[in-house]
């Protein structure tokens, strides 16, 4: 359940966090989100290897060989955490979760005492995600993003593209799972064409659309992206009218990929990213019911850390929210019972 933080407690905690990180506060390109034309452009993931169940595979599926680095705040990393839980991979693949506050050195590892919900790096003992990238490539010049799927055996990054990591998690470890878990398939062959088509427009206009709206630095760039965002939300609302899920009433990766954006929409994107033409709670009843249905699946709500989500966006994006004040609202109650 999303907990409502008291204003006094929130302000006190925020001040201590800000003080803790002030020594890192130097200008850096890591926080330059928009291009010169005011448009937000997402960097392509660099590490794109695959775990394959083949005799000669460089990256073979093995229990306790791989480790997943995530942020509870990041919607892209959130996808991988959900599939890891749903498939029962938590006993096979380790997990580290960074601090919610991302300043000029990027994602930082903290202890549970320093940042409740954080899980330190017990594999590489890194202080920052950037340390892991530099361990693999000392000359790396891209962004230091999560998720990161790490191979403990070969001491390297396998993949840092969330859409590919969830595909691997979907099938490649099945031989180590129970029959019930192995049979869970979020990318079934008969639905792949429709899933891919859905993923394409949802990614461009919704998943990435909120970022293109929120990080726009010109009015033109903002309006160019926020209008298609709500057209797509209207489209999704119609798709879910009388249907439980996006693709033929089957729970697929298309739902998981959209869910991580929608669960952040009212608490963060509506205000922080200026995506305020409508809200999920008040204007999209079908999407709200769908969100509750997914949230209530065993293993999903444990991956939704609203405290990390809110603090990350409102405190890390100081070009958008220079005061770093975090609103106390947490969005709609997702525990209201719905039909499974």
Positions marked active-site: 74, 211
260 within 8 A of 75, measured Cβ to Cβ:
yes
Closest CA to 95 of 3, 165, 172, 11: 165
How many other C-beta atoms can be found within 10 angstroms of the C-beta atom of residue 323?
9
- Non-local (6+) Cβ contacts of 94 within 8 A are 64, 66, 67, 68, 122, 123
Does the annotation flag 162 for ligand binding? yes
Does the annotation flag 201 for ligand binding? no
Q: Which helix (H) or strand (E) holds 19?
A: helix 7-21
Coil vs helix vs strand at 157 = strand
171 within 8 A of 222, measured Cβ to Cβ:
no
224 within 8 A of 230, measured Cβ to Cβ:
no
Q: Which helix (H) or strand (E) holds 310?
A: helix 306-316
CA distance 130 to 126: 8
Does the annotation flag 146 for ligand binding? yes
Does the annotation flag 161 for ligand binding? yes
Does the annotation flag 76 for ligand binding? no
Per the annotation, binding residues are 107, 143-146, 161-162
Specify binding-site residues for glutathione.
107, 143-146, 161-162
């Amino acid at each position: 359940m999303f907990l409502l933080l008291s204003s006094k407690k929130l302000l006190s905690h925020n001040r201590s966090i800000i003080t803790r990180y002030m020594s890192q506060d130097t200008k850096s390109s890591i926080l330059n989100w928009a291009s010169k034309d005011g448009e937000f452009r997402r960097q392509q993931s660099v590490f794109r290897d695959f775990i394959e169940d083949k005799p000669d595979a460089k990256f073979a599926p093995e229990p306790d060989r791989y480790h997943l680095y995530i942020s509870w705040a990041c919607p892209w990393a959130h996808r991988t955490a959900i599939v890891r839980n749903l498939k029962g991979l938590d006993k096979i693949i380790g997990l580290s979760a960074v601090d919610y506050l991302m300043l000029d050195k990027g994602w930082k590892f903290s202890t549970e005492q320093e940042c409740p919900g954080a899980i330190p790096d017990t594999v590489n003992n890194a202080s920052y995600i950037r340390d892991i990238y530099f361990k693999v490539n000392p000359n790396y010049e891209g962004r230091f993003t999560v998720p990161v799927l790490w191979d403990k055996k070969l001491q390297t990054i396998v993949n840092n593209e969330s859409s590919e990591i969830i595909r691997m998690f979907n099938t490649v470890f099945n031989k180590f799972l129970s029959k019930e878990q192995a049979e869970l398939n979020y990318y079934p062959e008969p639905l792949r064409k429709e899933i891919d088509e859905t993923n394409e427009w949802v990614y461009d206009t919704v998943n990435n659309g909120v970022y293109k709206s929120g990080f726009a630095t010109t009015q033109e760039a903002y309006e160019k992206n926020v209008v298609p965002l709500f057209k797509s939300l209207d489209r999704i609302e119609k798709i879910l009218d009388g249907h439980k899920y996006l693709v033929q009433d089957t729970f697929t990766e298309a739902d998981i990929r959209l869910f991580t954006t929608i669960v952040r929409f009212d608490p963060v994107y509506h205000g922080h990213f200026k995506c305020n033409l409508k809200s999920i709670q008040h204007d999209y009843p079908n999407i709200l019911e769908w969100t509750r249905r997914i949230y209530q699946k065993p293993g999903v709500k444990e991956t939704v850390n609203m405290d990390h989500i809110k603090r990350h966006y409102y405190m890390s994006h100081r070009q958008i929210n220079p005061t770093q004040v975090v609103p106390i609202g947490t969005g709609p109650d997702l525990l209201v019972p719905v039909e499974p």
